Structure 1
């Protein structure tokens, strides 16, 4: 059977090495997210024969209870057999989740499964990095919001965690998060948990190879973002915050645009994954307002045996 365990910081380098080889664009394969969300989604990992196996054990959210497609570049058929044997030995169903369309095709072609379901709240919003940087065409309204922010706050500047003042920028990421949270009328358990995750991300920043930036107005931190590279040139936006009047005047649009430009020019970003909408109508509208280039659909299936 596979040796399942909760991911630790020591597992991150080998996990990252495996996932980087796959070229996946899925946020569910983002190593930083896997580590940070390990308790929220009760995630277990197993590493064997050059493959990363993921087991999500979250029963309360549709499509988040099961195992994912084996991540690796070697013998996929052997990895699938290993996964199936693990499930059957444990007397558990082979419930597969977060399947991308190419993985669905593989399972169909190799007679593993034929029936698949999808939950729209788990689809990823993917953008070409150059489109989020340029904000042309359909996104011109977003460009206007960025321009409004710059006009309203002419003494703005942006700093990145990779700069000489990186440690100060990290502290300011936490400042923005705390200010954003203090402005929320109802501080739900989910919001408090997210605050803890952001603090943990900063604590393990180098281990997780995170990228981040903060916008300042008169040296006051007013917007921040945190991202992680999923695979070469594919970046996952993990967190993005602005608060108060700065948010109302376009802070979210500004950090989105300026950071996309930074990833494009400094880190050779090709695609930016802005993750799913969790089925929240307002969040879905906000994400669709950016006219994603790809909606990365996710599927699930139960592998049956006759």
Structure 2
């Protein structure tokens, strides 16, 4: 039986070799994402039948596999994964976080033995980068007003996270943001750990990011990455809401600074949180990338 290994920074080259030019539309398969959330999701991996198999174990959904990467024989690989699942009571479903293209391959291979559920709270919001940069037209009128209000009102400075002291300022700000938002949320506590982790190695992980300072004091920051020539991903966006328009300013400035040469910007899911869903929809996504939960009923 395959032995799964907890994900670590030293695994980055292996993952990049398997993932290649990032042919996914969702954000979960980037190494940065997996490393960022490795503790909360208990991310582990193994090489099975020459395919990269990623296993997660989360609080509510339990254990599950992500879609296999660079498999040779889908049927054989899936049969192996079903055997692993059947011996582990933590599994509630075989696959989660799978994209439509892989779902189709499962349907072609296993037909009516598949149980499928749309994971609607985890659909990814994907935006046209030019729209987020230009904020043109009536549909972005309110965002443009927020941006302009911020620019007119505050004496601000934008710094890159690679500048001296900025990364540590971002971590310190993240701690304060966490405390001001209750300081006891399960997922936010892991997010805070993730921010601290990745900021130690932002150069190795090729993280892009900016911080906004007002009167020499950090007021917000954002972190992201470019996964291929078509898409960038925003991983973190934190700000002090007392500064009117700061979120619109950070969003736009990050897009201008790092995402002008990619077509799409993935800003992840809304987790079923009404306020977050409203905020993400207000930026007019051009794609709502579906993700699926799948189980396969076979006696193996």
> 1:87 maps to which residue?
82
Choose which of 235, 251, 264 in structure 1 pairs with 2:259. 264
- Normalising by structure 1, we get a TM-score of 0.87
CA positional deviation for 1:89: 5.1
Partners of 1:146 and 1:111 in 2: CA distance? 50
Q: Does 1:300 align with 2:286?
A: no
> 1:160 maps to which residue?
160
What SS is found at the alignment partner of 1:197?
helix
Segments of structure 1 that go 5 or more residues without pairing to the other structure are: none
> 1:54 maps to which residue?
54
Partners of 2:42 and 2:117 in 1: CA distance? 22
CA positional deviation for 1:27: 1.4
What SS is found at the alignment partner of 2:7?
coil
By percentage of residues, which structure has more helix?
1
CA positional deviation for 1:198: 1.1
CA positional deviation for 1:18: 2.1
Contact kept, 8 Å, 1:183 with 1:244, in 2: the verdict is no
Contact kept, 8 Å, 2:143 with 2:248, in 1: the verdict is yes
Once superposed, which parts of structure 1, at least 4 consecutive aligned residues long, lie more than 4 Å away? none
> 1:188 maps to which residue?
184
> 1:130 maps to which residue?
130
Contact kept, 8 Å, 2:125 with 2:288, in 1: the verdict is yes
Contact kept, 8 Å, 1:183 with 1:243, in 2: the verdict is no
What SS is found at the alignment partner of 2:28?
helix
Quickly say closer, same or farther: Cα 1:80–1:225, change in 2 above 3 A. Answer: farther
> 2:67 maps to which residue?
69
Partners of 2:282 and 2:204 in 1: CA distance? 34
Partners of 2:75 and 2:210 in 1: CA distance? 40
> 1:107 maps to which residue?
106
Deviations 1:92-124 (A, max 9, x none): 477111121111111112235544101211111
Partners of 2:251 and 2:235 in 1: CA distance? 12
Quickly say closer, same or farther: Cα 1:285–1:89, change in 2 above 3 A. Answer: closer
> 2:144 maps to which residue?
143
Partners of 1:30 and 1:206 in 2: CA distance? 16
Segments of structure 2 that go 5 or more residues without pairing to the other structure are: none
CA positional deviation for 1:244: 4.5
Quickly say closer, same or farther: Cα 1:59–1:31, change in 2 above 3 A. Answer: same
- Normalising by structure 2, we get a TM-score of 0.88
1:169-180 aligned at under 5 Å gives the runs: 169-180=166-177
Partners of 1:159 and 1:256 in 2: CA distance? 14
What SS is found at the alignment partner of 1:116?
strand
What SS is found at the alignment partner of 2:80?
helix
CA positional deviation for 1:29: 0.8
Q: Does 1:251 align with 2:246?
A: yes
Residue-pair matches, total? 292
Q: Does 1:209 align with 2:206?
A: yes
